[in-house]
Chains A and B, each alone.
Chain A
Amino acid sequence: MIACLLIPGFELRAALRARPRLALVPAALSPEPGEEPVLGPVTAAAEAAGVKPGMRLGEALATCPSLVLVERDPAAVEREWEGVLRRLEDTGFAVDPVEQGAVIFETRGVERLYGGVQPALERALAAVGSAWDPRIGAASRRFTALAAASVARPGQILLVAPKEEESFLEPLPLSLLPMNPGRYAELEGLGLRSLGELSQLPGGAVAERLGVEGRDAWRLARGGRRTRVRGRRPAAELAEALVFPEAIANELTLRRALGSLLERLLARPERAGRPFRKLALAARLVDGGSWRRVATLRDATAEIGRLRAALGSKLQELPAPIVELRLEAVELAEHAGQQLALVEPAGEEAVVRLREGLRQVRASTGTGSVCAVVEVAPWSRIPEARALVVPKDV
């Protein structure tokens, strides 16, 4: 069977791990900086006070003046979600993440191991942990499993037999379908309220009226396609970080730190010569918050100049001085081949020789013997705070 494990409001729950008391009071995830001022997920206490996810900030504060706004913490969310996925993988499930808080997996591979579908799903819930309030829906199709998880209670496993899928989906609301918000109003204006009402319409007519989006929604309302779940390939932990003794915001210092991180990441033996396809730049802010940006490269590359150009501009988006900068390899290309240049850039041969010489020194004197000086705060009045000595892998 295909199972969907759902953790509603995952972003808020992850941000509250550091402040568990706020889970009991009216609290909501603050709006994304620079985006429309609407709330993210809210706590149960906030919902009881009349605050709903997606509500405008002003309206929410007027409704509940004691509402606490929880600052977004993307690094913590990413870390906690990766932890959830790894615990499921350690239990034997090949997971296919849908989004943070929702993951699909098949039970076929582990049913014999755990003695059936129900025991296997109970192991999955246990692996995630009850603190997250996970719930599972299982069916023969992805969308039905997702819909079942959406209506399940915390800690519940809702199994939908293949013969019962159509009747199960019938009364469910249209909000389960992945559509633009305006579409829901359009469908309600046509008198449609449930998946069953939509599925009973002729598919051609729906496609003609609502386009490709409507046609896809119609197919899902009828259960969707039968597809196999392809588990993700968990990325090796390939990341480097620099912790600064003082908070820094100077662009030159940040770029130098990024250069140092890139050199270290390129030198990691786990990379096995494979170029990067996607990288993530994360930082811990001076006020304790976090920041994260992902850069997907048009062409997978391991050329440091191109990587600097792709990531350097992200540093300008930092909202505050930082105390830690972290670079993660999110995705590597499969090939290890390298397109050689007809004419090498000037100075490249000297760089290659220098690198080889440093490798020889490191081989004879040991790890950590070759270091680089990274200027952190050259203007500091405290001399030992101006620069750091960082072991340099070559």
Chain B
Amino acid sequence: MSSPALGRLNAPRPALVETGPGATPRIVNREGVTLVREEWRVVDRWWTDEPVDRHYFEVVLESGRNVCVYRDAEARCWFTQNA
């Protein structure tokens, strides 16, 4: 029997983020943020050994690209992901 190596789709990638007032992203991967479109929080699996506590931001960069970044409260660092 082979149990295939299952990969996660849309896995988070570490991101370099500088924040401004209110802890909102100001620079993402050395590119400036022109607009914060949306902001939300995901708190889940708090009853397990792998709780999830993320503060998401959907932002528009200077290049016009639309990206999602989140601050992971457990890992205390920033990641980028397609939400």
* Chain A residues in the interface with B (C-beta under 8 A): 237-243, 245, 264, 326, 328, 368, 371, 373, 381-391
Nearest residue, chain B, Cβ from A241: B3
Q: List 18 A-B contacts (CB under 8 A).
A: A237-B1, A238-B1, A241-B1, A242-B4, A243-B6, A373-B9, A382-B42, A383-B82, A383-B83, A384-B8, A384-B11, A387-B10, A388-B7, A389-B6, A389-B7, A389-B9, A390-B7, A391-B5
Expressed in whole angstroms, the Cα–Cα distance for A264 and B3 within the complex equals: 10
Count residues of B near A (Cβ-Cβ below 8 Å): 19
Q: Which of chain B's residues have a CB closer than 8 A to the CB of A242?
A: 3-4, 6
Contact assessment for A240 and B9 in the assembled complex, using a CB-CB cutoff below 8 Å = no
Q: Which of A237, A238, A239, A387 contacts B9 (CB 8 A)?
A: A387
Contact assessment for B44 and A390 in the assembled complex, using a CB-CB cutoff below 8 Å = no
Q: Which of chain A's residues have a CB closer than 8 A to the CB of B4?
A: 240, 242, 264, 390-391
Specify which of B5, B10, B12, B52 lies most central, judged by the most chain A CB atoms within 10 Å of its CB.
Answer: B10
Contact assessment for A240 and B7 in the assembled complex, using a CB-CB cutoff below 8 Å = no
Q: Which of chain A's residues have a CB closer than 8 A to the CB of B24?
A: none
Expressed in whole angstroms, the Cα–Cα distance for A383 and B79 within the complex equals: 12
Q: Which of chain A's residues have a CB closer than 8 A to the CB of B81?
A: 383-384
A286 to nearest B CB, angstroms? Answer: 12
Contact assessment for B7 and A382 in the assembled complex, using a CB-CB cutoff below 8 Å = no
Judged by a CB distance under 8 angstroms, whether B2 is at the interface is: yes
Q: Which of chain A's residues have a CB closer than 8 A to the CB of B8?
A: 245, 384-385, 388-389
For chain A, what secondary structure do more than half of its interface residues adopt (helix, strand, loop), or is it mixed? strand
Expressed in whole angstroms, the Cα–Cα distance for A234 and B11 within the complex equals: 41
Q: Which of chain A's residues have a CB closer than 8 A to the CB of B11?
A: 384
Other A-B pairs beyond A245-B8, A384-B12, 11, CB < 8 Å: A240-B4, A241-B3, A264-B4, A368-B5, A383-B81, A383-B82, A384-B81, A387-B9, A389-B7, A389-B8, A391-B4
Q: Which of chain B's residues have a CB closer than 8 A to the CB of A383?
A: 10, 81-83
Expressed in whole angstroms, the Cα–Cα distance for A381 and B41 within the complex equals: 10
Expressed in whole angstroms, the Cα–Cα distance for A239 and B44 within the complex equals: 34
CB-contacts of B1-37 with A (<8 A): 1-12
Q: Which of chain A's residues have a CB closer than 8 A to the CB of B45?
A: 382
Expressed in whole angstroms, the Cα–Cα distance for A381 and B4 within the complex equals: 25
Nearest residue, chain A, Cβ from B40: A381
Nearest residue, chain A, Cβ from B50: A245
B38 to nearest A CB, angstroms? Answer: 14
Expressed in whole angstroms, the Cα–Cα distance for A239 and B2 within the complex equals: 7
Contact string, B38-57, partner A, CB cutoff 8 A, digits 1/0?
00001011000000100000
What 8 A-B pairs have minimum CB-CB distances, sorted nearest first? A239-B1, A389-B7, A387-B9, A384-B8, A241-B3, A388-B6, A383-B10, A381-B42
Expressed in whole angstroms, the Cα–Cα distance for A385 and B12 within the complex equals: 11
Nearest residue, chain A, Cβ from B1: A239
B16 to nearest A CB, angstroms? Answer: 20
Q: Which of chain A's residues have a CB closer than 8 A to the CB of B2?
A: 240
B67 to nearest A CB, angstroms? Answer: 13
Expressed in whole angstroms, the Cα–Cα distance for A385 and B8 within the complex equals: 7
Q: Which of chain A's residues have a CB closer than 8 A to the CB of B3?
A: 240-243
Expressed in whole angstroms, the Cα–Cα distance for A326 and B2 within the complex equals: 10
Contact assessment for A240 and B5 in the assembled complex, using a CB-CB cutoff below 8 Å = no
Expressed in whole angstroms, the Cα–Cα distance for A35 and B78 within the complex equals: 54
Q: Which of chain B's residues have a CB closer than 8 A to the CB of A326?
A: 1
